[in-house]
Structures are given as structure tokens and as C-alpha cells.
Structure 1
Amino acid sequence: MRKVIYGINLSLDGCCDHTKFSGGEDILEYFTQLMHGVDLIIYGRKTYELMVPYWPDVAKDQNTSKADSEFAKTFDAIDKVVFSRTLDDIEDNKTKVIRGDLKDAMLKLKQQPGGNISIGGVNLPLQMIEHGLVDEFYFVIHPVIVGEGRGLLEAKGLKENQGLKLIESKVLESGCIALHYVKQ
């Protein structure tokens, strides 16, 4: 069965608003490596519209940094699914919109052959965590306390403890700490 992995950047105080802290090339390199084992990316509408067309446009830009270019090309090459009730069909042949039940659709996707499934954003991953569908977590903790902004775990809908086991920790050049957990 395919694994569902969730990667996100966070401040020390748990803020997941990417506009509140800056990233470095080492962070893009970390997420690029993570995406090498992924053959499907799943987002909700809001996160999808943040990522596309931004990264596909970066992939076409000849004047971008090496880290931006490598992440963008890796991202652009992967098939995507968007869970949305409001998004019309997408003209991109690598992206599919699903309007059905999240849990049922995810269980079907996990049973298909292939590599890891990456999920991103906040709302959709929290729903998947509540359903026990996320297998691995990749948190990149930025060395900043922002004191405001949306926190990752503001949702209080978890019905039971989500025990995790630390598999790897790595200090990046930027001072960020990358933490890799698996669901117990």
C-alpha cells in the first residue's frame, strides 16, 4: 500500500503561514529530495491555487536559482489531485479534481500501485490526520517565533491521540531543523 506523507514548514511557535518566515535554498533542496519518492501530490483548492501556476512557471524560467529550478521541475513533473467542491475542471492534463468523499477516495488512491502520495496545505491534511490516513510527517522547523498567524494544530477535531515516532532529525544550513516522524 502506498504511503501518504505530509511535509510542512513551521515556526518554533507552530505557525504554518509561509508568509511569516523566509526559506532558504537548503529547505527547497530538502523538499526536492522528499519529492523524489512521490508520484502523486494532493491538495485542497486553496493550496493548489498557491502552488499552481507558481511552480510550473518557475520551472520554465531560465533565470531562477538552481534550488528553485530543481524543486519546480520536480513538482511540475508529478501528477496532482485537488479535492474541491468549488473548483471547476482544470485544463492541466496532470491534474484531476475529486469532489467525492475524502476518506473513501484516499483509501482507493493508497491501494493503487505507485510511489508515495504527498499532501500539502493545512485543512485537507488535518482532515486526513483525523481519519488516520497520514503515514509519515516531515516538519521543517524555522528558527523564528512569529507570535501570530495560523497555527498548524488549531483544529481541535482529533478524536484520539496521534502517536508519532521520530525517525530522523537533521539540522539544515539555514538553522532550520527537519524532523521526520512515522505514525505509530
Structure 2
Amino acid sequence: APDEEVHRFVNDLERRVGTYLLGRRMYETLLYWEDPPGLEAEPAVIQDFAAIWRGADKLVYSTTLERASSARTRIERSFDPHAIRQMKDSARQDVAVGGPHLAAEAIRAGLVDEFHLIVVPVVVGGGNRALPDGVHLDLELVDERRFQGGAVYLHYRPRA
């Protein structure tokens, strides 16, 4: 789990999100935040993140999930880049993509216009790749920040 400084920073990033696009596994992981047990005893930064999660719309892409287990959630069976582009163009808040497979589809479709990366000083030695194969992006560093615990935030945008 991130330390409080990083968590506050992430909360500020997430506060700008109006809609999350999520794969099934990422949705099931984040579903915890819909009604975390003992939330009232948690630090304010944790309570804030739960409120941010509950306040956003969720669009979950799954061929197996039968129904949503959270408010403000709908399920789509397939990813439609054209529909997402229309959603992005009309959105008043940010649209964020969560989950490596769904993010790969969005990146390949040219729908991702910002990359927010947080590098933490822990090596786990496995997992999914952050970026998909076969994609070449020339990125411009927009912002960076170093945290007390050693994590580093990097904000990139694709160059035109």
C-alpha cells in the first residue's frame, strides 16, 4: 500500500476522474472500495479514496461478469474505441483506464492522451507489462515528483 503522502497525491489525481474504464479483474480488485469494512476507523486519506471511488462512474468490460456489484456501474461486453472517443470528447471530467489488457486496447486505439506512472522502490518480479507490445509512443515529460519514501511520479503525454 502507498504511504500517506503518495496516497494523498493519488487521491488528488483520481478526484479528476468522472469515469473509470475497467477490465473485470481490475474492477473486482477495486470493488473493495465500494464498502470497505471498518472505513470509519481508517485515516482520512483512506476514507477520501473510498468516497472518490464511489463518486465516479464505472464502465466494466467483461464477457463473464453477469451483473455489477457497485453503484454507478454498467457492464459492456466488448471495447468499442469509437464509443470511448465520443465519451471522452463529451466528458466534463477525466476518463481513466484501469487494467493492463484494457489499457493496452485503449493505447493501441490512440485513446490515451496522458500517462501517470508511479515507480515505487520495491521489486516484485512478475506481473503484467505496463505497456503493450507493438506500440511506439514518443512521450513528452510533463511533470515529475519525488516522494519522501522513494517513490517517483512521472506524467507523460504523447508528442503530436
- Structure 1 window deviating more from structure 2 (91-100 vs 129-138): it is 91-100
Residues 59 and 73 of structure 1 are in contact (CA less than 8 Å); yes or no, is this contact kept in structure 2? Answer: no
Residues 18 and 95 of structure 2 are in contact (CA less than 8 Å); yes or no, is this contact kept in structure 1? Answer: yes
Match of 1:172 in 2: 147
User: How much has 1:39 moved relative to structure 2?
Assistant: 0.8
User: How much has 1:58 moved relative to structure 2?
Assistant: 2.8
- RMSD of Structure 2 on Structure 1 (CA): 1.9
User: How much has 1:105 moved relative to structure 2?
Assistant: 2.5
Q: Does 1:56 align with 2:34?
A: yes
Q: Does 1:41 align with 2:20?
A: yes
Percent of counterpart pairs with the same letter?
Answer: 27
Between Structure 1 and Structure 2, how many residues are aligned?
159
1:2-13 equivalent positions in 2, closer than 5 A: none
Match of 1:135 in 2: 113
User: How much has 1:69 moved relative to structure 2?
Assistant: 1.1
User: How much has 1:163 moved relative to structure 2?
Assistant: 1.1
CA distance in 1, matches of 2:64, 2:99: 17
* Amino acid in the other structure paired with 2:118: V
Question: Structure 2 regions of 5+ residues with no counterpart?
Answer: none
The alignment's TM-score, normalised by the length of structure 1, stands at 0.79
* Amino acid in the other structure paired with 2:16: G
Match of 1:26 in 2: 5
The structure 1 residue matched to 2:137, chosen from 134, 159, 162, is: 162
CA distance in 2, matches of 1:131, 1:123: 13
* Amino acid in the other structure paired with 1:150: G
User: How much has 1:155 moved relative to structure 2?
Assistant: 3.8
Residues 59 and 69 of structure 1 are in contact (CA less than 8 Å); yes or no, is this contact kept in structure 2? Answer: no
Q: Which has the higher contact order (CA 8 A, sep 6+)?
A: 1
User: How much has 1:80 moved relative to structure 2?
Assistant: 0.8
Residues 58 and 64 of structure 1 are in contact (CA less than 8 Å); yes or no, is this contact kept in structure 2? Answer: no
CA distance in 2, matches of 1:34, 1:70: 12
* Amino acid in the other structure paired with 1:102: D
CA distance in 1, matches of 2:102, 2:60: 10
* Amino acid in the other structure paired with 2:102: L
- Structure 1 window deviating more from structure 2 (40-49 vs 88-97): it is 88-97
The alignment's TM-score, normalised by the length of structure 2, stands at 0.89
Distance 1:59 1:95, change over 3 A: farther
Per-residue CA deviations over 1:66-112 (Å, capped at 9, x if unaligned) read: 22111111111111110111111325440011123431221221122
CA distance in 1, matches of 2:38, 2:18: 20
* Amino acid in the other structure paired with 1:137: F
Match of 2:52 in 1: 74
